[in-house]
Amino acid sequence: MLKPLQKFKVLDLSRILAGPFATQLLADLGAEVLKVEPPEGDPTRGWGPPFEEGDAVHPFGGESAYFRAANRGKGATVLDLHSAEGRARLMELMKDADVLVENFLPDSAERLGLTWAKLHRAHPKVILASIRGFAPDVKASRRAGYDFIMQAESGWMSITGEPEGRPMKIGVALVDVLAALYCANGIQAALLHRERTGEAIHVQVPLMEAALAGLVNVGSGTLMTGRAPERYGNAHPQIVPYQTFPCADGEVAIGVGGDKQFEILALWLALPLEGNPHWRRNRGRVEDRDHLVALITEKLAPRAVEDVVRFCDQNAIPASRVRTVDEVLFRKAGDLHHLIQPLLDPETGGMVPTLASPVMLNGERACAKTPPPRWKK
């Protein structure tokens, strides 16, 4: 397996998800990552259930799925950074490090001496990556930030959910995941910059701004019009039909991205296209959304999901059954993906299933070879 980051050493002082997920991505690409945990451990070790069964050594009742999702490929050590001894040990570790990743609250980082000014003065070749709730130049800079709060603050919740329902969060901590991706990308850019110039830099990723950047076309549309976007449930605000529909034996998702695709679907469903020529263009379909979607819903209701998906596949119209996560991971592996990578646990001799990075290098998925570190206080 290719390891483009093999020579680089990363100290991971981060906790929860965004920071650990970023450093896991670096480990997948070959970096040597040391997870530095406080005496009580990363909080996600206790976030569950689900917990692994039968691990009597673990103080939290077995390794949590949450911790397992973001910490493979790492070594581990415990340091009490609130003690002079712990801080001194960290400074020793930094002598050989290329990158330090942290996500402390600003006040905590200052108390612990983990500001860019202090670290850069003591270790001028070490890149510092800081994940915060908010950027340092805004009024909210000292507030704590969790993914859930950022989904509320950023407007994500206001555009998620059924039109007449309550605002909803997304089903996974996607703000944290986005921040992790930005952070890992920023770290690699900083490493490249240091290789070229010898200069280490400070990478900063605010969760709030990762969330706002993730609004993409919704954010762009709001900037263009000045109007608050609406909630559309499973429908798309700018494309019709692009949503889920109930069938006789389940739900189907259909994403008609082109006018030709719609004409093919309309002929199959015997929609009155001749009497509604404005449907031939997406703009007309969006303007007549309620009428058109009602007709499509009526036509699809008695059909089997697989019949609809088969027709769409044969005509290059994106479509899928709405699946459960267990179905995708267990029954569709090999058909839809090869992302599950079992890793040998040297502690137990058993295999730990994990979801690899989707990055492929020369045809092989990037995935560190060791499972998350066990708790060894």
Q: What is the pLDDT of residue 349?
A: 87
- Give me Rg for the CA atoms of the chain: 24
Q: Within a 10 A sphere around the Cβ of 153, how many other Cβ atoms?
A: 19
Alpha carbon distance 87, 119 (integer Å) = 12
For 183, the token pair is: 């952070």
Tell me the C-alpha to C-alpha distance, in Å, between residue 357 and each of 71, 132, 155, 244. 12, 24, 28, 28
The model carries a pTM of 0.94
Which of these is catalytic: 80, 176, 288, 307? Answer: 176
- Three-state SS for the chain is CCCCCCCCEEEECCCCCHHHHHHHHHHHCCCEEEEEECCCCCHHHHCCCCECCCCCCCCCCCCEHHHHCCCCCEEEEECCCCCHHHHHHHHHHHCCCCEEEECCCHHHHHHCCCCHHHHHHHCCCCEEEEEECCCCCCCCCCCCCCHHHHHHHCCCHHHCCCCCCCCCCCCCCHHHHHHHHHHHHHHHHHHHHHHHHCCCCEEEEEHHHHHHHCCHHHHHHHHHHCCCCCCCCCCCCCCCCEEEEEECCEEEEEECCCHHHHHHHHHHCCCCCCCCHHHHCHHHHHHCHHHHHHHHHHHHCCCCHHHHHHHHHHCCCCEEECCCHHHHHHHCECCCECCEEEEECCCCCCEEEEECCCCEECCEECCCCCCCCCCCC
Q: C-alpha distances in angstroms, 149 versus 104, 157, 222?
A: 16, 10, 21
Pick from 330, 328, 320: which is nearest to 353 by CA? 330
- Sorted by where each starts, the structural domains of the chain and their CATH numbers stand as 9-214+341-365 (3.40.50.10540), 242-322 (3.30.1540.10)
Q: Is 288 a catalytic residue?
A: no
pLDDT in tens, the chain (377 residues): 899 999 999 999 999 999 999 999 999 999 999 999 999 999 999 998 888 875 444 455 578 999 999 999 999 999 999 999 999 999 999 999 999 999 999 999 999 999 999 999 999 999 999 999 999 999 999 999 999 999 999 999 999 999 999 999 999 999 999 999 999 999 999 999 999 999 999 999 999 999 999 999 999 999 999 999 999 999 999 999 999 999 999 999 999 999 999 999 999 999 999 999 999 999 999 999 999 999 999 999 999 999 999 999 999 999 999 999 999 999 999 999 999 999 999 888 889 999 999 999 999 999 999 999 988 76
